[in-house]
Structure 1
């Protein structure tokens, strides 16, 4: 698995929030966002989609877990309406892990990421983990797990 440290910029995002157990409802939130983005001509080859689980399901009751399906937008693309919220995602250093976009491969990636962090000179920062979906990777059935990090 490819792993690199990348400094992500701050992003302006449009997002759809799903509250409840993580799983199929997250995919539905992403589909809702994609339909909105397509209707607003934001879903194109340079688009970046993000999936952001806001809560740790091991410490948050399933019915209170929040998941944001996001698309990066520019200031001129700010098109708030009843379907999406507009927000900011702060940047910083992230461990970027390219992985096959399957539940099994993502779970296996975490079995590598945590031990890697313990020996890398970094530790997880107190920000949400991001799933990043870029056009060229999606076409190959890959996504990127972006783990916020800071030096030990």
Structure 2
């Protein structure tokens, strides 16, 4: 079911990737988790930003940011960038993901719901996955898929 959510502005610790979507995300999550554990940011919410449309951008140029929400005064460290997130209004759907192939269908469903509801997409922000939970051994995740709308 489609919902509208306002995400607040935040400070993010980020590992940036470039290449085909899905490639390197687990490693980036591991890097971020080790850093977060060391600096006691274990309770930060995981957000994955997809900056480019894979239908119009070649895989090698697709940009992904794997991020955690952190306090505003957090300092960068090698391999971790600190970036601002402006927040905004997002169309969302929530899904329980138990297989990697389900991510694509969730994104397709969200865009179909947005089109059917007559919302206009915003050009100002990336599509985002917000992780409510993730079980590393089973790879089952509770994910809110978000697309910026006007």
Counterpart residue number, 2:49: 52
Contact 2:50–2:126 (8 Å) recurs in 1:
yes
The number of equivalent residue pairs is 144
- Alpha-carbon distance in 2 for matches of 1:57, 1:119: 21
Residue 62 of structure 1: how far off its partner (Å): 1.5
In the superposition, the TM-score normalised over structure 1's length comes to 0.84
Residue 147 of structure 1: how far off its partner (Å): 1.1
Which whole-Å deviations, capped at 9, do the CAs of 1:53-106 have from their partners, x for residues lacking one? Answer: 122222222222211110011124x12111211111111110121112332322
1:91 aligns with 2:87: yes
Counterpart residue number, 2:100: 103
Contact 1:124–1:147 (8 Å) recurs in 2:
yes
1:3 aligns with 2:2: yes
Structure 1: gaps of 5 or more residues: none
- Alpha-carbon distance in 2 for matches of 1:115, 1:71: 28
Residue 42 of structure 1: how far off its partner (Å): 0.3
Residue 123 of structure 1: how far off its partner (Å): 2.0
More helix as a share of residues: 1
Counterpart residue number, 2:129: 131
RMSD: 1.8
Counterpart residue number, 2:17: 18
- Alpha-carbon distance in 1 for matches of 2:81, 2:141: 27
